[in-house]
Structure 1
Amino acid sequence: MSGRPEILFPLFGKLTALDGVGPKIAALMEHLDIEKPRDVLFTLPHSGVDRRPIASVREALLPATVTVEITVQSHHKPANKSRPYRITASDAGGTLQLVFFHARGDYLEKQLPVGARRVVSGKVELFDGVAQMVHPDFILKPDEALDIPAYEPVYPLTAGVTQKVMYRASRSALALAPELDEWADPALIASEGWPTWSEAMTAAHAPQSGADLSGQSKARQRLAYDEFFAHQVTLALARQSVRRAKGIENRGDGRLRAKVLASLPYAPTDAQSRSIDEIAADMALPQRMNRLLQGDVGSGKTLVALMALLVAVEAGGQGVMMAPTEILARQHLDGLQPLAEAAGVVLEILTGRDKGKEREAKLKALREGNIHILVGTHAVFQKDVEFHDLRLAVIDEQHRFGVAQRMELGSKGHAVDVLVMTATPIPRSLALAQYGDMDVSVLDQKPPGRTPVQTALVSTGRLDEVVAKLRSAMASGRQAYWVCPLVEESEVSDLVSAEQRFALLRAALGEGNVGLVHGQMPPADKDAAMARFVAGETKVLVATTVIEVGVNVPNASIMVIERAEHFGLAQLHQLRGRVGRGSAASTCLLMYQPPLTQSGQRRLEILRETEDGFRISEEDLAMRGAGDVIGTAQSGVPRFRIADLESQVRLMQVAQSDARKLLLDDPSLRSKRGEAVRVLLWLMEQDKAIRLISVG
C-alpha cells in the first residue's frame, strides 16, 4: 500500500487538465471544495432544467425554461446605452421577444440576422402580455440544436463559475474516470440492481428527469453506499487495530460489585444489568475494550460506569473517570463517593485546581496504587500524572474529547479498556457514522423512583403568572431553574439576558433566594453559585445553558426555559432532564414568544408529547440535518459529498455489516475484492485507513 494506485492518477491531477478550467477558474472552484478532477466527479447536480424542444411558447406554462425554434423578424436598437436591445421573433404559434442588456448590436446582427431560423433556449416570462426571453442560454443554428441537453443538470455554483463551466468540467472529469474493479459485495449489487461505480457516476451526471436526482435513484444509492462503505471500512480497520492491540484480561471476582448492589435501595433496571454484563464480558477478553454506553437523561449511567471501574479494581488495577468540566467531575465524585465507600474503595478527584503539596500527595498515592479510582477533568492528561496500573478509562460526554485524546489516554496504561458515556441519545445513523468503530450498550429504561416531568407551553406574555407560581413553589420548599438564552442584553437581540432576568427575579422573590451562573463568570464564582443552589441556600438558579449536562439537584422540580423556540430539541431535552430527579412532581415550562414558526412549534410540541430521548433525537435529525445535530465539523461525523445520513440510514447499516464481514474474512485486504477496496479507500481519501493497512 505504498502509495496511490496509478489508475487513480488522472483523478488526482491538476484541475487545469479539465476542459475550460484555467488557473483563474481553478482558484474560484476551491470555494466549492473542488481542488482536483476527483472533486468535480463527487459534486453532483442538485436539480435539472427540462430543455426538450416545444413548437411554441404558447404551449408552456410561464414563467418557464423553454427551448423553441424561431424565425428572426426585426431588431429594435435602443436609443441610449441604458435601454435593452430587443429582437422580435416568431415561433410556430406566436411571437417572442429576445431581450439583451449592454449588448453589442453588430454582434447580435451577426448571431441573429433578420429572416434566419435559430433554436433558442432560456427562461421565458410574460411582461405586459408579451413573452420575453432575456439573454437566452443557448442560440444555435437548427442543425446544431442537438448540442442542447434535453435535460440539463444544474450544479452548485460559486461567484465566477457558471453552469457552462461546471457542465464542461464534469464531462471532462467523467472522461478521466477509469473502470475500477468491483469493491462492493456482488450479492448486494445483484439484489439492489445497482450499476458499476463508473456507470453510476456517468448516470448521476446525466439525469434524464427529476427522479434521477433523488437519493432513491439506483445510481445515487450506489454512490452513497460507496461513501458509507469506505467510511465504515476505515472505522472497522480502526476497531480491528484496537482489538489487535493486546489488551489485558480484566476479570473481577464480583466481591466489590456485590457490596455496592447490596447498599442500593433499589434493584438495577434490566437495561443496567445487561450493560454491566456486556462491559464485564468485554473487559475479560484479551483484546482492548472500546465500548460506547449510550443512555438517556437519568437512565442510570453512573452506576453502570462504577461497576465497570470496580471490575478493574477487583482485577488488581486502577480506573479513571474523565468529565469535560470541573462541575461535572465534582458531581461524579459526589455520586460515586457513597457507593465507593460501601465497596471499601479509595476514590479521589484531580482537577486543575489541585496545586502544590496537595497535588503532590495525590500524584504519589496514584503512582503507588493507593488511589483505586480517580475522577478528573482533562488535567488527568498532564505528563506528571502516572498510574500504578491503569486498566480502564471511562470518558463522559464523548463529543468533548477527540479520538486523539482517547488514544492519549490509552497510552497512560498498557492497552487500557475504554468506555465512553454519552447522555445525548444519538440517532442510529449518526451513532454508526460517529462511533462505528465501537461496540454499543444502550440504557433505554429509567430507574424506579424518577417522576415523569409535566411539560407545558406558555407564552412570554404570562411572565407574571410564572413568577407567582415560583413564589408558591418556593414557599413549599421547592427549587427551580430558570434558563435564558443570552448572557447580557445587547442592542441587536431582544432575547432576554440572564443578567436582566436575575435582577427582575431577585426583586420579585427576595435578594437571597436567587442565584446566577453563566459561561462568562470566573469558574470559582460559577462553582460557588452552583454550590449554594445544591445546598438549598438559593431557591431559584438563573442560568444560561451551562447547566445542560449532568448537574444533579434532586430537590429542583421546576425548569423554566425562556425563549424556548431558540433552543435545539436535543438541548431542550437535556435541560428538562435536570428536573424530575427527586420524588416531587416536576414541571418544565417552555416559554415562547409568539408568533412561532412552523418548525418552532413542531419542536415544542414534540417535547410536550414525549420524554423518550431517542425519539426526540430522530425528530431532531429529521428537522435539522446531521451537521447541526452534533454541532461542529470537529464532532467526528464525516462530511459526505453524496450520501445523506438522514434519509439513507439503511445503507449505512448495510455498509457497516459489509465492512465488518469483509475484514473478518480478509483482515489485511489481500483478496481480489480486498485490493479493490484499497483502491476505494484511496479514491475516497480515507488516509487514516490507508495508514492502518500499511502499519497492519
Structure 2
Amino acid sequence: MNPSSEVTALKGVGRDLATKLAEMDIVTISDVLEHVPFRYDDFVTGSLTEAIHEDKVKFTGQVQSEPLVRYYGKGKNRLTFRLLVEERYSVTVTMFNRAFYKAQLKLGEEVTVSGKWDLHRMTISATELQFGAIEGELTPVYSLKGDMRMKTFRRVVELAFAAVESVGERVPDSIRTAYRLLDRMTMLKALHFPTHRKELTAARRSYVYEECLYFQLKLQTLRLGKRQGQGIVLPLHQAAVDEFIAGLPFPLTGAQKRVTEEILSDMHRAERMNRLLQGDVGSGKTVIAAIALFATIRANKQGALMVPTEILAEQHASSLAPLLEPFGIKVGLLTSSVKGKARVLLLEALRQGEIDILVGTHALIQDTVVFKDLHLVITDEQHRFGVEQRKRLRAKAAQADVLYMTATPIPRTLAISVFGDMDVSIIDEMPAGRKEIETYWAKPEQIERVFGFVEKELLLGRQAYVITPLIEESESLDVQNAMELHAVLVERFRDNQVGLMHGRLGSSEKDEVMQDFKDNQVQVLVSTTVVEVGVNVPNASIIVIYDAERFGLAQLHQLRGRVGRGDAQSYCILIADPSSDTGKERIKTMTETNDGFKLAEKDLELRGSGNFFGTEQSGLPRFVLTDPALDIQIMETARNDAVRLLRSEAFWQTSDYDVLRHYIEEQGLLDGERIE
C-alpha cells in the first residue's frame, strides 16, 4: 500500500477514527508512521533524555571512574562514581552506606542503577545496583489529542506498518553509509517498536541527523549566496563615517570596532545583510546602531529601529538624536501615543523623506507607515517580536539590510540552531571604566540589613529597584508579591517616594511610573520583571531581587543590568532561600560572574533549551526529537554537511540528491525570502 494513501485505506480505520486522527493532523498512512513516540515506558531501564527531574529511574551504563567513599557520622558512608549512560552522558551516582561496592565495581563494567534522578546536577541518588544490563519491555507513549486513546492509536500504528512495505528515503545513501545510519523504514519501526535500548538509540540518532540536516539545509541555502542580487551595494562614505566615529563622546572598544567593520562590510555588498548583533548589557550596541544608521543616511537612504516598548523607543530616540542631529540627520519617534495631527504630519514627513530615521514600537509595521527609501532595518531585542511582526517590517523595503540586536546572550549550542541563517557579531568587551556590579546573596531573615544598605544608597542621592515575581498573593507559591511589598516599603522608606509597577498596568500607566523613576520623582521602584529589558536609569545604583531562586540565570542577569549604568558603584542583592538546590546553584553562579555568555551556558545546562528564552516567539525551532543543546554535535555535523552539499556541483546536478534538492525548492528557499 502507498504511504500517501489516506488512513481510511487501512482495514479497521473507519470515518469516526479517521476524524479523531485528523484532529491530530494525521490524514495519511505516512502521517501515522511519522507520528513517533515522545517517550517510552521502560519498567527496567529509563532513557536519560526522557527522564523527569526527581522521578525514580533506572539507567544502565559503564563505570567511568574509580568509586570514592567518604565516611561521616557513626559508621555512615557515601559512595560516588561516574556512569557513562547511553554511550554519551556522564552521570554521577551516589549511594549511601554501600561502601562494599568500592571493591566490586571495575572501570568499564556495565551496571544498572535505580533511584531518584536530579536532572540539573545530572545525578542519581541510587538505592539499588545490579551488575550487567537488564533489558525490559519498551512501551511507546504518544502525544494525543481529543478522544484518541493510547491503545487505539498503537493499534493504528501496527495496522500502518503491516500495510506498508517501504517508505521513501530522505537521507542520501552515501551519507547514511558514511554515518552508519539506519534506512528509513528500519528507523521508524525501531522508534515505534523498539526491542531494546541500543536499537532505540540508533534509531533516534538516525532521526535526529535527518531533522538536523533538513533544518540546516534551510538555513545554509539562505546564508550561502542564495540572496545574491536581492540587495543593493550601499555607497560607503568612509571619510564621513570616520569623522562621525571620531566625534563620539567616547572611544570605541576593540570589539565595537570589529563589529562595526563587519556590519559596514555587509552593507557594502550586493547581498542583503542578515546579521545578529549580540552584546551583553551595557556593551554599547546602541552606538553601533548609530554608526550603521549614519552610514545609511549618508548614502541618501532611510533607516528604521523597532523596539518592544514605548519607553525603550523614547530612550533610543533620545540617545540617537544628539549623536546624529548635529550632522543634519532627522530622527522621528512613532509609538501608539503619537496621535492625531502630530501622527499625520510625522507620516507625511517620512513619506517625503524628510525624516531620515524612524524609531518606534510595533506601530512601525502598520500599513499607513510608508518610507520614501528604506534601506536599513534594525530590530532591538528581536526575540520579543513575533515572526509576522519582524517579517512585516522587512517587507517595507524588499532590498533592505537587516540587523537584529539582542542583549540576551545566546549560548553557542543554541545560536547554531536558532540563528544559523544569520551572520553573528558579538561585542565581547565592556567599555573602559565601567564598574562591575557587585552581587551578593542574602537570606530572607537578613532583609532588614539589606534595607539598611538600600537606605545608605538613597541618602547618597541614588535610587533603587526592588523586584518581586508575583503581583498578588498566591496560595500555591510562597513568594513575596509586589502589592504587599509596596505597602511595606512605603512605610519603611517614609522619607522617599516608593513607586509600583507590574504587568497589569496599562502601557501608558507603566510609562508614567517609569518616567517618574527616570526623573527621580520616585526613589524606590517596586516592580515585577516588566523592567527587565533595556530601561536606562543611570542614577539607579542598587537592585534587590526577592525570591531570586525562582528566576532563571538569563533573567537574573537581565534584571541586574538595570543598574550599573552610571558612574557610581552599583549593587545587586539576591534574596534567596538556601534550601533549594537548583536555586542555590543559580545564585552561587550569579555571585561568581558578570559574564552574560557564561551565565547563558549555565542557564541552558540548568533549564534546558525549551525554557531558555521563556517565550514561544523566540524563534527557537520546533523539532520532533532533536534537542539543540544535547544534540549539538549532530547539529554541527549536519551544518557542515549542508554547507558542503550546497557548494558542490554534484548536489545541483546528480540524481543522488534529488530528494534534498526538491525539498529546498518546494520550501521556496531559492526566492531570497528568509525562512522563519
TM-score using structure 1 length: 0.76
Match of 1:442 in 2: 426
* Partners of 1:357 and 1:51 in 2: CA distance: 72
Match of 1:229?
213
Q: Match for 1:14: what amino acid?
A: E
Q: Judge conservation of contact 1:45–1:154 (CA < 8 Å) in 2.
A: no
Structure 2 residue 24 is matched with structure 1 residue 13: no
Q: Report the CA distance between 1:175 and its aligned residue.
A: 5.9
Equivalent residue runs for 1:105-504 within 5 Å:
152-157=137-142, 161-162=149-150, 166=154, 169-170=157-158, 172-173=160-161, 176=164, 178=166, 180-181=168-169, 183-184=171-172, 186=174, 189-213=176-200, 217-239=201-223, 243-244=227-228, 246-490=230-474, 493-504=477-488
Of 342-351 and 458-467, the range deviating more from structure 2: 342-351
Aligned equivalent of 2:126:
none
Q: Secondary structure at the match of 1:243?
A: coil
CA contact (8 A) 1:45 1:205 kept: no
For residues 42 and 578 of structure 2, what CA distance do their matches in structure 1 show? 40
Identical amino acids, percent of aligned pairs: 40
The alpha carbon displacement at 1:421 in A equals 0.8
Contact 2:10 2:163 in 1 (8 A): no
Partner letter of residue 152 of structure 1? E
The change in CA–CA distance for 1:463 and 1:28 in structure 2 (over 3 A counts) is farther
Q: Does 1:690 align with 2:675?
A: no
**Equivalents in 2 of 1:319, 1:427: separation in Å?**
29
Shift of the 571–170 alpha-carbon distance from structure 1 to 2, 3 Å rule, reads farther
Name the SS for the 1:691 alignment partner: coil
Aligned equivalent of 1:610:
593
Could you say what secondary structure the match of 2:363 adopts? helix
* 3-state secondary structure, aligned to 1:11: coil
| Contact kept in structure 1, 2:245 and 2:291, CA below 8 Å | no
Equivalent-residue separation in structure 2 for 1:28 and 1:632 (angstroms): 30
**2-side partners of 1:241 and 1:268: how far apart?**
31
For residues 474 and 177 of structure 1, what CA distance do their matches in structure 2 show? Answer: 76
Whole-Å separation in 1 of the counterparts to 2:672 and 2:340 = 43
SS in structure 2 of the partner of residue 304 of structure 1? helix
Q: Report the Cα offset of residue 364 of structure 1.
A: 2.6
Instruction: Name the structure 2 match of 1:138.
Output: none
Q: 1:628 aligns with which of 594, 603, 611?
A: 611
Corresponding position of 2:538: 554
In the alignment, structure 1 residue 661 sits paired with structure 2 residue 644: yes
Contact map agreement 2:308 2:380 (CA 8 A) in 1: yes
Unaligned runs of 5+ in 2: 46-55, 59-134
Instruction: Verify the 8 A CA contact 2:651 2:661 in the aligned structure 1.
Output: no
Post-superposition shift, 1:475?
0.7
Note closer, same or farther for the CA distance 1:204–1:547 as it changes in structure 2 (3 Å cut). same
Q: CA deviation at 1:558?
A: 0.8
Does structure 2 conserve the Cα–Cα contact (< 8 Å) formed by 1:514 and 1:538? yes
Structure 1: distance between partners of 2:262 and 2:524: 41
8 Å contact kept, 1:40–1:170? no
Shift of 1:245: 5.3
Q: Deviations 1:523-563 (Å, cap 9, x if unpaired)?
A: 23322221222122322111111110101112212111111
Q: Judge which range, 244-253 or 385-394, deviates more.
A: 244-253
Alignment counterpart, residue 622 of structure 2, candidates 632, 639, 645 = 639
Q: Check conservation: 2:496, 2:524, Cα contact below 8 A.
A: no
The CA distance in 2 between the partners of 1:666 and 1:601, in whole Å, is 54
1:257·1:343 contact (CA, 8 Å) conserved in 2? no
Find the aligned partners of 1:336 and 1:189 in 2 and give their Cα distance: 53
For 2:165 and 2:291, the matched residues in 1 are separated by 54
Q: Deviations over 1:417-447 (max 9, x none)?
A: 1111111111223223222222111122212
Seen in structure 2, the aligned counterparts of structure 1 residues 550 and 205 have a Cα distance that, compared at 3 Å, is same
Aligned partner letter, 2:596: G
Larger Cα Rg: Structure 1 or Structure 2?
A: 1
Q: Secondary structure of the residue that 1:560 maps to in structure 2?
A: strand
- Give the whole-Å Cα distance in 1 for the aligned partners of 2:650 and 2:466: 54
Q: 1:351 to 1:633 in 2, by over 3 A?
A: closer
Asked if the contact 1:318/1:388 (under 8 Å) is kept, the reply is yes
Whether the 8 Å contact between 2:141 and 2:150 is mirrored in structure 1 is no
Listed one character per residue, the Cα deviations across residues 568-612 of structure 1 (whole Å, up to 9, x for unaligned) are: 22111110111122232221111124532x222222222222222
Letter in 2 for 1:523: S
Tell me the distance in 1 between the aligned counterparts of 2:233 and 2:271: 8
Question: How big is each residue's C-alpha offset from its partner over 1:121-145, in whole Å with a ceiling of 9 and x where there is no partner?
Answer: xxxxxxxxxxxxxxxxxxxxxxxxx
Seen in structure 2, the aligned counterparts of structure 1 residues 485 and 694 have a Cα distance that, compared at 3 Å, is closer
- 1:499-518 matched pairs, under 5 angstroms: 499-510=483-494, 512-518=496-502
Other-structure match for 1:532: 516
Q: Which SS does the other structure have where 2:275 is aligned? A: strand
The separation in 2 between residues aligned to 1:378 and 1:394, in whole angstroms, is: 12
Contact 1:234 1:689 in 2 (8 A): no
1:223, CA displacement in angstroms? 1.3
The answer on whether the counterparts of 1:487 and 1:497 sit within 8 Å (CA) in structure 2 is: yes
Q: Please tell me the residue identity of whatever aligns with 2:604.
A: L
* Runs (5+) with no aligned partner, structure 1: 1-8, 53-62, 66-149
1: CA distance between counterparts of 2:591 and 2:635?
31
User: Deviation per CA, 1:243-279, whole angstroms, max 9, x where unpaired?
Assistant: 1452121122134433332233432222211111111
1:313 is displaced (CA, Å) by 1.0
Residues 299 and 15 from structure 1, CA distance in 2 versus in 1: closer, same or farther, beyond 3 angstroms? Answer: farther
Describe the superposition over 1:18-58 as per-residue Cα deviations: whole angstroms up to 9, x where unpaired: 57655565566678775544344341473465899xxxxxx
> Judging changes above 3 Å, is the alpha-carbon distance between structure 1 residues 176 and 267 closer, same or farther for their aligned structure 2 residues?
farther
RMSD: 3.3
Aligned 8 A contact 1:263 1:342 in 2 = no
Inter-partner Cα distance in structure 2 for 1:302 and 1:694 = 32
State the shift of 1:160 in Å. Answer: 6.1
Between stretches 433-442 and 670-679, larger displacement belongs to 670-679
Asked if 2 retains the 8 angstrom alpha-carbon contact of 1:47 and 1:155, the reply is yes
- The alpha-carbon deviation at position 194 of structure 1 amounts to 2.7
TM-score by length of 2: 0.78
The separation in 2 between residues aligned to 1:321 and 1:569, in whole angstroms, is 28
1:18 and 1:169 in contact (8 A); partners too: no
